[in-house]
Amino acid sequence: MGSRDLPLTGPEGEACTGAFPDAFRAQLNQLMRQRRDVRRFRRDPVDEAVLARCLTAIRLAPSVGLSEPWRLLRITSDAARAAALKNFEKANAEALAGYSGAQASLYAGLKLSGMRDAPVQLAIYCDDETAQGHGLGAATMPEMRRYSVVSAVTLFWLALRAEGLGLGWVSVLDPAQLNRDLQVPAGWHLVGYFCIGHPEELSDSPELERKGWENRQDSLKIETR
C-alpha cells in the first residue's frame, strides 16, 4: 500500500465567464457524444502527468454539504489485480447463468471489462461516514454522498476522453468480496471499479447498441406536473 497526494492545480479567483462561446459548446457536445464506456484497451502505459491532470477533475465535482466523500484506491499489485479480475469473472459467469437462449449467447459474446489489459485501474469508494460537510443535505437523502462520487467520476471520465483516453466502468462485481480482498476501510462503499487507458477504437455510439444488446430510445420524454 502507499498513497500520493494531488493538489488542486490551476487558477482560482479568475473572472467568471457567463455563457461560453458557441465553438466551445459545440466541442463539449462532441466530447459528450464521444465519451463511451471502453472495454478494449491497448496495453501501453498512460502518461502519469496526463492522468494526474484528469484526476484533478474529481475535486471540481459537486458534493453534498461540501463533503468530498470520494476515496480512491489505485490497483497496481499483481495480487490485487488478480483478485479483482477473479471477482469479475465469477460475477460475470453468474450473470450469464441468469440469461437463456439467444440472449445468453449475446451476453456471452459481450466484452464487459478491460481488466486484463487496462494499464490503470482504480476502485472508487464513497466514505459514507465522513464528518466533512457536517451532514448537510444528507439527512433526508443519505445516498447523496454516493451521488457526489458519481458526479466526480463523470467529470473525470470527460477529462480523460478530452485527453484521448478511455474509461470503462465495471459493475459486474461482488463488492463485499472486493472490499475484503482490497482491505478497504470500514464505512467505505464501492461506487465502481474503473479501467483506464488508451482505447483500441473510438466511437460515438454505445458498444451495447452496436452489438445488438439494446437500443437507445428515440427521444427524451418529459412529463409536467
Residues 155-194 touching its own copies, rule: CB under 8 A, are: 155, 157-159, 161-164, 169, 171-175, 182-183, 190-192
User: Which residue type occupies 166?
Assistant: G
Q: Kindly provide the b/e burial profile for residues 12-45, where b requires at least 16 CB atoms within 10 angstroms of the residue's own CB.
A: eeeeeeeeeeeeeeeeeeeeeeebbbbbbbeeee
Q: How many residues at the interface with its own copies, by CB under 8 A?
A: 119
Shortest Å distance, C-beta 150 to its own copies: 4
For 9-74, the DSSP string reads: PS-SSPPPPSSPPHHHHHHHHHHHHH--B---B--SPPPHHHHHHHHGGGGGS--GGG---EEEEE
- Taking CB under 8 A as the rule, does residue 12 contact its own copies? yes
Q: Residue for cell digits 460475470?
A: 92
- Taking CB under 8 A as the rule, does residue 2 contact its own copies? yes
Q: Residue for cell digits 458557441?
A: 22
**Which residues in 26-55 contact its own copies (CB under 8 A)?**
27-37, 55
- Binding its own copies (rule: CB under 8 A), the pick from 45, 76, 86, 129 is 76
Tell me whether residue 139 or residue 186 sits nearer to its own copies (CB atom): 139
- Taking CB under 8 A as the rule, does residue 5 contact its own copies? yes
- Taking CB under 8 A as the rule, does residue 219 contact its own copies? yes
Shortest Å distance, C-beta 43 to its own copies: 18
- Binding its own copies (rule: CB under 8 A), the pick from 116, 132, 180, 200 is 132
For 178-213, the DSSP string reads: HHHHTTPPTTEEEEEEEEEE-BS---SS-HHHHTTS
Tell me whether residue 43 or residue 204 sits nearer to its own copies (CB atom): 204
Tell me whether residue 19 or residue 49 sits nearer to its own copies (CB atom): 19
Q: Residue for cell digits 451495447?
A: 208
Contact between 167 and 96 under an 8 Å Cβ cutoff? The reply is no
- Binding its own copies (rule: CB under 8 A), the pick from 46, 80, 118, 195 is 80
